Structure 1
Amino acid sequence: MGHPNIPLMHRYTRPPRDKHRSRRLQPYTTNDNLNNALGAIRVLGLELIADELVPHLNTVLISIKDRNKGAAEQVVISGILPILSLCLRHTGALRLITAKLVAELAKESVVRKGFGDAGLVTALLSVLTSPDQELLLHVVRSVSCMSYDSPKLQELLLRRGAVPRLVAILFRFPDKEALEEACLLGLCNLSGMGVSEEAGVTWERGASVRPGESVFHGVSPHTCGFTSSVTLVRVCQWAPGQYAVSIEVVQRCSSSFWSLHRKQTARWFPLPSVGSCSNLCKFSKRNIPRTKSLKTRMFHTFL
């Protein structure tokens, strides 16, 4: 006879034992953990309670970093990208773990395609004024990966003022090597050059010949031992608070056969200031003879 104070519907009934079934419970698989975490983020996302969300975000982060099969597709199907956008606008530990996760998700082409519609572009750019260097590093890497092979995201980032924000970080943290390299890589990808983190570009500061100019050289490893590319980024101040950013890529051959390998055209992107990113100035495009052109991108930016 049951206890009178326990409702019948809440009583626990032991299921019949199956003698052919092991008594040990089967552990959760990686996909189970990921699905549970994604489901929890969907449920808790609107409340933005850091203590409850952070463990689930961390589970997703680990799965994406480990490149578990199908993990990126599960994130897309789950619909959590708009929630990540909200988390980035939060403060403290929730924002940092979200920035780490978004930086990893940005490496997955199937995921970053949805960043624009999910509001992640605007959310990421809003964080680029933060004084937190670790946070900035993850966000800048996200911007770089987003613009790696997507003209649509490149144009969206340009219209929203990504270039002046990256230039501002270069000047705010001149001694932070990792952050500097991430910004330079981001500028290259925004220009449409498609340089991945795995390319192994080595950056160093070059000697400037003009007052108010900062020069950066990025050297890529030789391809098959014959050619390498040198990326030249110049940031020139041409008026108080106004800077021109030019980017050139030179392909050169090794040994006595080295020469400039010129390609494509030059594009000019006049960009608005950080404070007024709503209006995009008209840009012009000029064709240069293929045999005498460098692959060049130039931005005009206001800090």
Structure 2
Amino acid sequence: MGHTNMPLNYSCTRPQTDKCRSSGLQPYSCNDNLNNALGSIRVLGLELIEHELKPHLNTVLTNIKEGQKGAAEQVVVSGILPILALSLRSRGPLTLLTAKLVAELAKESVVRKGFGDAGLVTALLSVLTSSDQELLLHAVRAIARMSYDSSKQQELLLRRGAVPRLVAILLRFPEKETLEEVCLQALCSVSGMGVAEEAGMVWERGASVRPEESVFHGVSPHTCGFASSVILVRASRWAPGQYAVNIEVFQRCSSSFWSLHGNKRTARWFPFSSLGSCSNLSSMIKFPGRNVPQTKSLKTRMFHTFL
């Protein structure tokens, strides 16, 4: 297949950095390696040839992880997101590296806004059936990050069946703590009950009094000594292939904070029926606050889901 190698030109207008000066580069050439990598991915991407694409994907990953100024915007302009989605779906040699890159890109709001249109949401969900634990770790982390503060992404993930897939991972890998924690973070983020990754949420498996129920609780450190978030997640098996997921969020306050602000919180019960009930699900998502009872205890969402 022939291609016309059209270089992608991006201008770097930032001041000359110490790194540039020490390497002898001109100010406008600081991101030349990134520009070339993005251009090569766009030209070669449809063929997904590992030995040709791998170094370019690594270059982009390095720039994003190091927080290079303007790198995220360059990724958006380059138009490589659909190629990353294709790589994830292919389940080929590049899939793991691509999942790592997508997880890093999901930190950047300017990039993750385009995940839906680029097909990355459905591509990430397709990865969740894999048995590769490292691949699952990065894919789930990407889902947690992209949905944390985006109601649009949350709705799309709910419609596409993210919850049952995430629950399935919890059940398949009960002894893998890192994967378990990331999966719980993703469940909370998709449900709109998430806590920022920077909060340092610590998860533990709790005791259950019901048969075939898994209980997890997560605690974030106190913020400025006043309050911390406590999340309780219960995953229950009702019947073969049918599970209920209940997510509750509490605010644990210090005595001084408590005396100032009292104990006022809201409660939610949010049912998630079968994967096929998109019309009912849509109406509940559009009006999540309608007829919500007020209580003094917690904020809750419940998903009834079929695997």
TM-score (norm 2): 0.84
Q: Deviation digits for residues 60-101 of structure 1, max 9, x if unmatched?
A: 000000010000000001110011111112234310110000
Kept after mapping to 2: 8 A contact 1:158/1:271: no
Amino acid in structure 2 at the alignment position of 1:179: L
What SS is found at the alignment partner of 1:182?
helix
The verdict on how the C-alpha distance between 1:231 and 1:45 changes in structure 2, with shifts beyond 3 A counting, is same
What SS is found at the alignment partner of 2:272?
strand
Q: Say if 2:290 is the partner of 1:288.
A: no
Distance in 2, Cα, partners of 1:157 & 1:47 = 28
Distance in 2, Cα, partners of 1:51 & 1:76 = 24
Q: Deviation digits for residues 248-294 of structure 1, max 9, x if unmatched?
A: 0110223597698443341423243xxxx4542624554112x4252
Distance in 1, Cα, partners of 2:75 & 2:273 = 34
Distance in 1, Cα, partners of 2:279 & 2:236 = 19
**Aligned residue runs from structure 1 range 24-43, under 5 A:** 27=25, 29-43=29-43
In the TM superposition, residue 216 of structure 1 has moved relative to its aligned partner by 0.2
**Greater shift after overlay, 262-271 or 122-131?**
262-271
> What residue number does 1:115 align with?
115
> What residue number does 1:297 align with?
301
What SS is found at the alignment partner of 1:221?
coil
Q: Say if 2:216 is the partner of 1:216.
A: yes
The verdict on how the C-alpha distance between 1:91 and 1:46 changes in structure 2, with shifts beyond 3 A counting, is same
Question: Please, which runs of 5 or more residues in structure 2 have no aligned partner?
Answer: 1-22
CA RMSD of aligned residues (A): 2.0
Amino acid in structure 2 at the alignment position of 1:238: W
Q: Say if 2:203 is the partner of 1:203.
A: yes
The verdict on how the C-alpha distance between 1:64 and 1:261 changes in structure 2, with shifts beyond 3 A counting, is farther
In the TM superposition, residue 228 of structure 1 has moved relative to its aligned partner by 1.4
The verdict on how the C-alpha distance between 1:66 and 1:271 changes in structure 2, with shifts beyond 3 A counting, is farther
> What residue number does 1:67 align with?
67
In the TM superposition, residue 197 of structure 1 has moved relative to its aligned partner by 1.8
> What residue number does 1:137 align with?
137
Distance in 1, Cα, partners of 2:183 & 2:76 = 27
The verdict on how the C-alpha distance between 1:239 and 1:256 changes in structure 2, with shifts beyond 3 A counting, is farther
Distance in 2, Cα, partners of 1:165 & 1:68 = 34
The verdict on how the C-alpha distance between 1:247 and 1:73 changes in structure 2, with shifts beyond 3 A counting, is same
> What residue number does 2:271 align with?
269
Q: Say if 2:124 is the partner of 1:124.
A: yes
Kept after mapping to 2: 8 A contact 1:271/1:280: no
> What residue number does 1:79 align with?
79
Kept after mapping to 1: 8 A contact 2:185/2:194: no
Q: Deviation digits for residues 3-55 of structure 1, max 9, x if unmatched?
A: xxxxxxxxxxxxxxxxxxxxxx9558441000000000010011111110111
Q: How many residues align?
A: 274
What SS is found at the alignment partner of 2:183?
helix
Which one has the largest radius of gyration?
1
Q: Deviation digits for residues 137-196 of structure 1, max 9, x if unmatched?
A: 000001101111111110000000000000000010001011000000001001112322
Amino acid in structure 2 at the alignment position of 1:73: E
Amino acid in structure 2 at the alignment position of 1:300: H
In the TM superposition, residue 123 of structure 1 has moved relative to its aligned partner by 0.6
Distance in 2, Cα, partners of 1:112 & 1:269 = 27
The verdict on how the C-alpha distance between 1:271 and 1:98 changes in structure 2, with shifts beyond 3 A counting, is farther
The verdict on how the C-alpha distance between 1:249 and 1:75 changes in structure 2, with shifts beyond 3 A counting, is same
Amino acid in structure 1 at the alignment position of 2:271: F
Distance in 1, Cα, partners of 2:258 & 2:92 = 51
Q: Say if 2:250 is the partner of 1:250.
A: yes
> What residue number does 1:96 align with?
96
TM-score (norm 1): 0.85
Distance in 1, Cα, partners of 2:273 & 2:116 = 20
Amino acid in structure 2 at the alignment position of 1:266: R
Distance in 1, Cα, partners of 2:263 & 2:300 = 12
Greater fraction helix: 2
Sequence identity (%) = 72
> What residue number does 1:7 align with?
none
